[in-house]
Structure formats: structure tokens, C-alpha cells
Amino acid sequence: MMGNDWCEGQMRERRPQIILSIAQETEEEIVRVAKAWGETHEGRVLYGSDCYDIVEWRADHFAQVFHFAATRKVLLRLRQIFSGKPILFTFRTKAEGGEKEASTEEYFDLNKMVCESGLADFIDVEAFAKGDVAEKIIAVAHQQRVKVIASHHDFVKTPTKKEICRRLLYMEALEADILKIAYRARTGKEVLRLMDLARKREASGVRQPLIALSMGEQGRISRMIGESYGSFATFASSGEATAPGQIHAVEMYRLLTGFHRMLRPGENGGLPKWRTNLFLIGFMGSGKSSVAAYLHRLLAAGDLDMDREIEKREGRTITDLFLMEGETCFRNLETALLEEVQEGDGTVVACGGGAVLRESNVDVMRKRGKVVWLDTPLLTVFHRTRGDHSRPLLENKRTLRDIAEMMEERRPYYEEASDVRVVTEGKSIPEICEEIVRSVLLQSIGYRKK
């Protein structure tokens, strides 16, 4: 068993720990996968080191899990293969998304046996298990110097903020060492709800280290950016995912490494801050403002909508500026505003559709951040802009052909300026934002997908 000093040290780390999840049905399959990761896995080839920190055995997948001799044997094999790595034992009940049913007695006896075996460093305890079984298991674990992750899962939805806070305070009262909440996100708003709460959890009275994850396609990005909201760890797959939206461990290592490079230390020991400017470019109606607003909350970054800021400062609409001062005046205001964005500000900038037409603007964007092109189909742009009279350059160009010609004229400028291109067709705002963040993170470590 790993010493408490190691565990305490890791809990103080800002970078989330990567927990490699192993979940097979037979001892032979478990050992095969474990050896592949413990001896000759891809992470060592790529990075010269392991790309995970803790090994989780999802024992509810094991056919003989209630045969204690067989379970102890597997734990011993894992301890031998992953020498020097902490082992997390997890039996996830069917009620919280696991593979098997377990009575209260079976659940207690299994976890008690694991704690007393001396073969696990952590155990996962479902905080809302029936009766007082969670309290009993935690007491046994602490007697055996085993760290406890008290967990709660919802594979249907993300609860309300009030309900999450209530549950976290109850979980903290159990005196577990780490709290874990994992909820399926049906919408981007549910992802933001969980992240906002995690960032502000101390104000709600939650002091324990926290693992907070949004599950599913909408919530996958939460696994990449946990450092920004103080998540202690994230779970990664060793092959097949054991939870919706789980990412392969090697990919997870790349993404967390890239994200760490995108941050600056927080003030007075607070959470680290996003420091990389993101300049969103694209044709009118490509969704830059909506995407920027979501990224702003997702990353806890600064935000700047150039058109709105210019209107605010000038006290008139973009249309009035064009009519009274002309396009050149407007472009000069754009350039001056871009110049105010300094490297390291950590601002998401929704640029005007024509900002890339000036080479000097592009130079500023490229030097001070990453330029992201939202490449949106013609018909989508046409439907979004045809009733919008706040876009002076389209005032006398409302036909599909007019817009197609203007988009074609500008396309080379967008292509030349961009570091990242995201094709937005058929994608929700959370999906677009995930692709942006993933691409920027991988670029930061020099990785390009083949």
C-alpha cells in the first residue's frame, strides 16, 4: 500500500490526477490489460513516462467479484504489475450505473475485505448507499489507513445547484478524504452549472478535495479542463470507456498537459486562470458571439465582443457608424480595440466578420493568441442573417448569391489567418467549444493528428 505522504502530496497538486480505469470480466483479461499498461504502454513510448497516476479497478465488471479469494488474487496481481502506483478499488452498483446488483451486506463485506487486505490505497464508497453502510465502510477504511472517495452519480441528468450543494455537504459530513460527483449533462447549461459550482464550492461550505465531472458527449470537455475548476482527478479509459464521455488515457495525458500550459497561477493560492487569448473569426452569422459567450463561462476567461464593445464606446450602432463615418472609420476602431488585447490576458474575442481583411489585425491576433475560424455553411449564414438589419455590409446584399460571393471573397483571408478551423455544421455550441479547446490544447504540445 502507498504511504499517506504520497496521497497527501497528490491532493495538494493543482494538475488533476489521471485515474486509469480497468474493467474486464475475467482475471485473464484484467491481467492482460494491466500488463499492457503497466509494462509497455503507448504513453511510455511517446513521453518516456507513465501517462496516468492512479489505477482504478472497476470490480463490478469482474464475474467472480463476490468470491473474495478471486478478488484478492486480482488485487494482488494489480499491485505487482503496477508497483509504485496507487490502486483504487471501485464496485459501482447498478443503481449508480454499475454492472451488478449488490445487497447492503454484500456491498459492505466486499469493501471491508478489500480494506483489510492491504492491497488498495483508495476505495470508492457510494455516499447514498442504503442505510448507514457508507459510514461503516468509511470507518473501516480509515482504521486500515485506506483513503476514501465518497461518490454520487446520476446517469440521467445534472441536479439543480441547490440539490448538488445539499448532497456535497452531506457527503463531506461522512468524513471521506475526497468527494466525487459525476452527472450526465443533457445541455451545455448543465455542464456550466457543475463547473460554476465547483469553482465556488468553498463559498458553499465544501472544503474537501473534489472530483467533478459532467458525463456524456455534452460534458466530455469537463474531463479536459478540471484544473481550472479545482478537480482533484479525472478518469480515463484503458480501452473501452467505463463511463459516458470518458477519454483514452494517452489522449487524456496530452490534453491535460496542453491545458496546464494554457494557464497561469491563481492569485493568493486560488485557482489557476486561463491565459491564452482566443480570437474567433468567421463570416457574419457564424455564431462567434454565442460561442465566445460559452467559452467565457467554460474557461472562466475574459470576454470581448468587438462589435458590441465598439457600439458601447461610440454610443451608436454599427449601422449608424457605417452610415455617418464610413467603413474605414469602423475598421480603424476595430484595429484600435484589437491592440488593447495583450498577450496573456486570457480573453475570448468575438471578432467582427471583416477584422481579418487588415493584415495588421491578423498580425496582432497571431502574436497575442490563437485564431479560431468558425467555418459555417452558406445556407446557415443566409438563414441567420436575412432578417438582421444590424449588418450594414449586407444591407443591399440579401440574396443567397450575394452572400455566397462575399463569403467566397473572404474565405482565403480566414484560411490564412486561422490557427484552428472548426466546421460548425450540425454541431451544438458545446460541441464546437470542445473542438476548439481540444485543438488548441493539442497544438500547444506540438501534437497534430495524422
The per-residue b/e assignment along 327-351, b for 16 or more CB within 10 angstroms, e otherwise, is eeebbebbeebbeebeeebbbbbbb
- In this structure, the number of other CB atoms found within 10 A of the CB of residue 110 comes to 21
**What DSSP string describes 30-65?**
HHHHHHHHHTS-HHHHHHSS-S-SEEEEEGGG-TTT
- Give SS3 for 215: strand
Q: Are 351 and 281 in contact, with CB atoms under 8 Å apart?
A: yes
**Distance (Å, whole) CA 403 – CA 325:** 24
**Distance (Å, whole) CA 321 – CA 327:** 8
Sign of CA dihedral 431, 422, 312, 361: positive
Is 217 exposed, middle or buried, given 0-12, 13-18 or 19+ CB atoms closer than 10 A? middle
**Distance (Å, whole) CA 372 – CA 382:** 21
**Distance (Å, whole) CA 50 – CA 122:** 20
Sign of CA dihedral 144, 149, 150, 151: negative
Tell which residue, 441, 51, 404, 105, has the closest CA to residue 278: 441
Question: Residue 436 belongs to what H/E stretch?
Answer: helix 429-444
Q: Are 194 and 212 in contact, with CB atoms under 8 Å apart?
A: yes
Tell which residue, 87, 163, 86, 179, has the closest CA to residue 126: 179
**Distance (Å, whole) CA 273 – CA 45:** 31
* Those residues with Cβ within 8 angstroms of residue 228's Cβ, 6 or more apart along the chain or in another chain: 199, 259, 263, 271, 272, 273, 274, 299, 300
Catalytic residues: 153, 180
**Distance (Å, whole) CA 356 – CA 124:** 52
Task: State the chain's maximal CA–CA distance in angstroms.
Answer: 84
Tell which residue, 258, 250, 257, has the closest CA to residue 46: 250
**Distance (Å, whole) CA 164 – CA 194:** 8
